[in-house]
Amino acid sequence: MIVLKDVSKIYTMGDTQLRALDHANMHIRQGEFVSIIGPSGSGKSTLMNIVGCLDLADEGEYYLDGIEIRKYSEDRLAEVRSKKIGFIFQNFNLIGRMSAWDNVELPLIYQRVPAQQRKERVEEALRRVQLYERRRHRPNELSGGQQQRVAIARAIAAQPSIFLADEPTGNLDSRTGEEIMGIFHEMHAAGGTIVLITHDSGVAAQAQRQIAIRDGHVQEV
């Protein structure tokens, strides 16, 4: 499903070159629940941006569902993100002006899903995270845990190939974090492919498989 071959990402700051990713190799199969663990500055976010098609690798090859990603134009990348990747961010990244329902519906609009089908999928996703009753609330009227659940519902509704979660519990207290992890386990049980990026070994340990990243190097734990 996800294959990285010798992927490097190089940032140039003045005279110094920083290899945020250094010949990284990774293989994630469909239905897996994988955590990527590493301290801050290890290249986690760079890896996530490349896997999530938000950024392109400078060297190496990246295959998502068997298609090489680096040849794509920006609009095509947006389409790939829209159909294949469900992001879950540390700071939720919901749109503040819009209700929970509208936030969840947004990716479906970009996928051009017909209105009736959209309605069904949004409702189902909100029910799965138990926030259907709060669908008219805006993000600032919800707690942190609830906001993250809306963000998860947004990812679920889009029916992506993989869920890409970047420190999903980082801004939450430990009890709420457990709840969120519970939802991830449910999603995995329902057949979802999950890539979870974290610096918390306790969270990482809940995955089927752990991949460690340090100074741009990737290795199986």
CB of 186 to other proteins, least distance (A): 21
The residue range among 24-32, 74-82, 194-202, 203-211 that interacts with other proteins, by the rule CB under 8 A, is 74-82
* Distance of alpha carbon 83 from alpha carbon 111, whole angstroms: 7
Nearest-CA neighbor of 60 among 2, 120, 114, 6?
6
Nearest-CA neighbor of 130 among 148, 116, 117?
148
Our finding on whether 82 is near other proteins (CB under 8 A) is yes
Our finding on whether 67 is near other proteins (CB under 8 A) is no
Residue closer to other proteins, measured from CB, 121 or 154: 154
The residue range among 11-19, 20-28, 32-40, 105-113 that interacts with other proteins, by the rule CB under 8 A, is 105-113
For 140, the token pair is 């600032």
For 175, the token pair is 């009890």
What φ, ψ does residue 65 adopt, rounded to 5°? 55, 35
Nearest-CA neighbor of 154 among 77, 110, 94, 113?
94
**Residues 153-172 contacting other proteins, CB under 8 A:** 154, 158
- Site residues for other proteins per CB under 8 A: 49, 52, 54-55, 74-75, 78-79, 81-83, 87, 89, 93-98, 106-107, 109-112, 154, 158
